[in-house]
Amino acid sequence: MEIILAKTAGFCFGVKRAVDMVYEQVKESSPIYTYGPIIHNEEVVRDLEQRGVKVIEGMDELRKLQSGSVVIRSHGVEKKVYDIIEEQGLKLVDATCPFVLRIHKIVKEESEKGNRILIIGNNDHPEVEGIKGWCANEPFVVEKPEDIDLIDIKPDEKLVIVSQTTFNNKKFQDLVEIISKKGYDSIACNTICNATEARQKETAQIAKEADAMIVIGGKNSSNTQKLYDISKNECANTYYIQTLVDLDLTAFESASRVGITAGASTPNIIIKEVHDSMSELSFEELLQEEEKNSIQITPGKLVEGEVLSVKPEEIIVNINYKSEGVIPRSEYTNQPNADLTTMVQVGDKISAKVVKTNDGEGQVLLSYKRVALDLANDKLEAACENGDVLTGKVVQVLDGGLTVLYGESKVFIPASLVSDTYEKNLEKYMDQEIEFVITECNPRKRRIIGNRKMLLVAKKEEAQKALFDKIEVGMTIEGTVKNVTDFGAFIDLGGADGLLHISEMSWGRVENPKKVLKVGDTVKAFIKDIQGTKIALSMKFPEQNPWANAAEKYAVGNTVTGKVARMTDFGAFVELEPGVDALLHVSQISKEHIEKPASVLSIGQEVTAKVVDFKEADKKISLSIKALLPDDETEAEEADSAEEVTEAADVVEETTEE
């Protein structure tokens, strides 16, 4: 037979603390009284009675006491009980569970503001009775859905919801949902004890896997009854017992897997008796044994533990100590609104540093972030020494640079070291993952300096070397336009920039590079020249040279068509095709005398003319519209006229070159 014993079975922190305090009082003073049974377990109460501890049942008995110590049990009591103890001059030993004290504080403060209190729990349970006694006005108590209909609240009143610490978590959530749908102005505080929640979840899980379940606890224990109900829902063969005497072992003869859990008021000695039917330890000895096995903690100590419960804002950890450890969100991560339930799971192993041995509510305040910070700082120091490349997220943009989060450590990268070029606006880096190296590391002085520029420069040098190793003059290469100026464009070739001069952009005439190219364009060019790290590019590919077959296309006597590209006082230049311009002299526009070409022609106008001269070596072509017009003049006159045009063209060319 396989026996599965719940890790959360037995005394919770609050109960164990209360029982410890009573046993301590037995050693120090007498008489000793507990206001109600210290816990809902007859075995423990009987053992304490044998040691002289008496139980007071109500305020009337309390008022009759003349001397002695009164221990307030973990359930807590209403405020009147404290007042009577003070009035009678009795010694107060407050063993109220810190989780319950927290509820008392909430209901007192909220009710004094005029808000109405709604307690989800059993109206007759001592804990609920105590909570009601701290309310400044009449509270509501809800245990089941039909109780909600009895709520009588004014439209302008706010409803503050709390819960009995041992209430079923799922039922609590269901009731809160029903209340919210009623449209009340309400706020819910989930005050269910983390240990209770973890105990209930573990019980449900074990019950699903077991053939039979044993739930151990006092017959008056509310939280044990809830464990029984949860277990019974998952496993029909569930048995509720107080001690081993109540257990019929024959009921488990056919079971191959038996689960055991116990309420928060059940001593380990009874659990052990059920588990192995043997134990000679007294309650006090058992507590001493547990104390002996418990770790010793001090602020700054590193502890290992297992996650018992996770809420969006805190994590409860079993650190094998007399009280549990709590890691608030602020001590787990630097993310201000992080939901811890998405980051940690119940059962996870975790390392943390002790911040305080008592956080004010009886728990040990732990910090996971400080452990992570130490680890991150160790890595940063090693990275600084070894020159390792790290990656972190930019979490803050300052005037002087960037704050980058590495683990839980903050690295500052000055603006001058963010990039290898001037960065006017650093906001673009916010929330980005970036690489950097550590150039200075002093965690104690909180001075950790990063450098991103160094990496960018190194990468560019590496890329530049790789580029120059493979390129040569005449090679065709592709790149991206990085910048466009009046004299040309700079092309990013992936390691170095190449200059594409305006004169090399086209075989045709380019007036403005910005009308031809824009940043981001992909261009194909060939390398015209390399001088050191300077690369000259050209898009005037030889095979696309329009003059290659110009002698045939523009032979003297051919009729051609083109567009007026520009004009001067002595003539107009006609673009026959990109890269090929011809001069139409003013004397060759018409038979009639024309003062200026602009009086009869316009830029962009298409004209048809006759080639009257072609000089391939000088890339000069002369045109004549007049030669195409009907003419009675002699051929000699035409020849003389052609000679005049050629001479004029030479003069124009020389003037243009000057």
Which residue numbers are catalytic?
127
Q: How far is the CA of 638 from the CAs of 571, 587, 627, in angstroms?
A: 18, 12, 8
Residue 626, SS3 per DSSP:
helix
Instruction: Tell me how crowded residue 89 is: count the other CB atoms within 10 A of its CB.
Output: 9
How many CA atoms lie less than 13 Å away from 129 in the CB half-sphere? 11
CA distance 555 to 315: 92
Query: Beta 314-318 vs 325-328: how paired, if at all?
Result: antiparallel
User: Bridge-partner residues for 56, per DSSP?
Assistant: 35
CA distance 614 to 583: 11
User: Bridge-partner residues for 367, per DSSP?
Assistant: 353
The amino acid at 201: K
CA distance 135 to 126: 15
Q: Look up residue 168 and give its DSSP letter.
A: -
CA distance 529 to 267: 91
H-type alpha helices, 58-125: 59-64, 79-88, 98-112
CA distance 296 to 319: 10
Angle, to 10 degrees, between the axis of helix 222-234 and the axis of helix 194-209?
30
Q: Look up residue 14 and give its DSSP letter.
A: H
Residue 473, SS3 per DSSP:
coil
Tokens of 382: 């090693």
CA distance 225 to 247: 17
Instruction: Report the length, in residues, of the chain.
Output: 658
Q: Give residues with Cβ within 8 angstroms of 5, minimum separation 6.
A: 259, 260, 271, 275
Angle, to 10 degrees, between the axis of helix 194-209 and the axis of helix 169-181?
110
The amino acid at 185: D
Residue-wise burial string across 338-368, b where 16 or more C-beta atoms lie within 10 A, e elsewhere: eebeebbebeeebebbbbeeebeebbbbbbb
Tokens of 599: 């009086």
CA distance 573 to 576: 9
Edge to edge, what strands does the sheet with 32-35 contain? 53-56, 32-35, 69-72, 91-94
